[in-house]
Amino acid sequence: MKAFHDPDEFPFSMALEAACEAIRAEVLSLSPDDFVDWPEALTTARDGYDESGWRFFGLFSSHDQDVHELYDLDANRRRCPETVRACAAIPGMTDAGFSAFLPGTHLWPHRGELAGLLRCHLPLVVAPTGQGLKVGGETRAWQQGRCLVFDDRVQHEAWNHASTTRIVLIVTFRWPQTSV
């Protein structure tokens, strides 16, 4: 399995990057209270990993019934029309939303279970150092406005050791070439 994919393989990544400033303006208009705990995050600190600072503002979910108790997707979409427009144009998009890592958050190494999906991160608010994503054996830093695409079935972890909150737009999309 390939860990990271070249974002240029996906024409939508250029459109997302072109819309970055409009998307960033929308996420910055939100209050920290608009974000909820990431649904699958563990809320205990173990061995220096603290996942309790992983917050999320959902826009699209293939699990709508499961997340309606957490947030109102329709209301969220009305607040972020440019982001919704950009995400809706992505072929095979299944899930999307803003992921925020508060300072000190470290997501344990984990892997997704579903074949045929890739995940794209569009970094919107990032620090110059102290934040990163490791997929397989490869570590990358987020660069504001530059997409990262990876197969989340490959073990991955993420962290924010900076003093500021990291925010990325996460988009999950179908990609048949990863179905094996």
pLDDT category at 44 given cuts 50, 70, 90 is: very low
DSSP state of 105: -
109-147 pLDDT tens trace: 988 888 889 999 999 999 999 999 999 999 999 999 999
Please state, in angstroms and rounded to a whole number, the distance separating the CA atoms of residues 108 and 159: 9
- Predicted confidence at residue 110, as pLDDT, reads 87
Mean pLDDT of the 159-165 span: 96
**Nearest of 37, 53, 39, 63 to residue 131 by alpha carbon:** 53
Please state, in angstroms and rounded to a whole number, the distance separating the CA atoms of residues 28 and 142: 18
**DSSP annotation string for 14-62:** HHHHHTHHHHHHHHHTS-GGG-EE-TT---SEETTEE-TTEEEEEEE-T
Residues whose CB is less than 8 angstroms from the CB of residue 3 and which lie 6 or more positions away in sequence, other chains included: 135, 136, 137, 138, 150, 151, 154, 156
pLDDT category at 45 given cuts 50, 70, 90 is: very low
Mean pLDDT computed over every residue of the chain: 89
Range of the domain at 151: 4-178
Please state, in angstroms and rounded to a whole number, the distance separating the CA atoms of residues 126 and 135: 18
* Domain tally, the chain: 1
Tokens of 145: 């406005």
CATH number for 96 = 2.60.120.330
pLDDT category at 23 given cuts 50, 70, 90 is: very high
58-109 pLDDT tens trace: 999 886 555 556 678 999 999 999 999 999 999 999 999 999 999 999 988 9
- Predicted confidence at residue 64, as pLDDT, reads 52
